[in-house]
Amino acid sequence: MRILGLDAAMARCSAALLVDGVVRGEREAPGGRGQQTVLAQMVAELLDGVEALDAVAVSIGPGSFTGLRSAIALAHGLAAGRCKVLGVTVDQALSHQLGNVPGRAIWTAIDSRRGRIFLTRHHEATIAINVVDVAPPAHPVVVAGDAAPDLVAWLTERGADAWLSDVRQPAAASVAQVAARMLAGDLPPHEAQPLYVDPPEAKLPAGGLRPAPLA
């Protein structure tokens, strides 16, 4: 079973090749401008000599609008007519990297870049919320993600039993490993489409769209 994992959801982009559950190759680079080209180059290096893939897995968010769309488009292009393409949430990837923490529920907190965080508690639906509006949990938690330090500081100031993990960014290897569990039937699959938490900022013009040009 060969699974290619892709991630460009946050501050870096990465690619990894998983073969029969073992990571056979992994690449990463800073995200941002030009990451589409960099990600494609990393994929070309990893797939050199690989005849076929069983699946392409890609992180679907929440995260960077541009990063998510570029990685998802690449995933669909690589998989088209050849293999399955699977979406993996950032919460799933971060939680996989964190592993099992006995006695603690897993929370993931991602900086939305809009003065709020994307918060996922116990793998439930992700919400956009201000850190100061997060109610302290009544039970022990461990928090992963790039906004975890601010959230844990807020929670502990209010007496919550919150641990700060060292997991900040999702990795393509984890994306591929989560996808392997989906293929095995251990997890429900996700469509490889961006996971939007906030509504789109673009608004239709007050007078509606202009008529389509005549041919």
Which pLDDT does position 199 carry in this prediction? 59
Closest CA to 132 of 112, 114, 158: 158
Looking at the domain 2-89+170-183, which fold is it?
A: Nucleotidyltransferase; domain 5 (3.30.420)
Q: Is-contact 198 112, C-beta < 8 A?
A: yes
Which pLDDT does position 207 carry in this prediction? 59
Residue in the structure block whose two tokens are 């592993």: 99
Say which residues have a Cβ less than 8 Å from residue 128's Cβ, sequence separation at least 6. Answer: 112, 114, 116, 117, 118, 119, 197, 198
pLDDT, tens digit only, all 215 positions of the chain: 999 999 999 989 999 999 999 999 999 998 777 788 999 999 999 999 998 999 999 999 999 888 999 999 999 999 998 999 999 999 999 999 999 999 999 999 999 987 899 999 999 999 999 999 999 999 999 999 999 999 999 999 999 999 999 999 999 999 999 999 999 999 999 999 999 887 554 454 555 555 555 54
pTM, two decimal places: 0.90
> Where in the chain are the domains?
2-89+170-183, 93-164
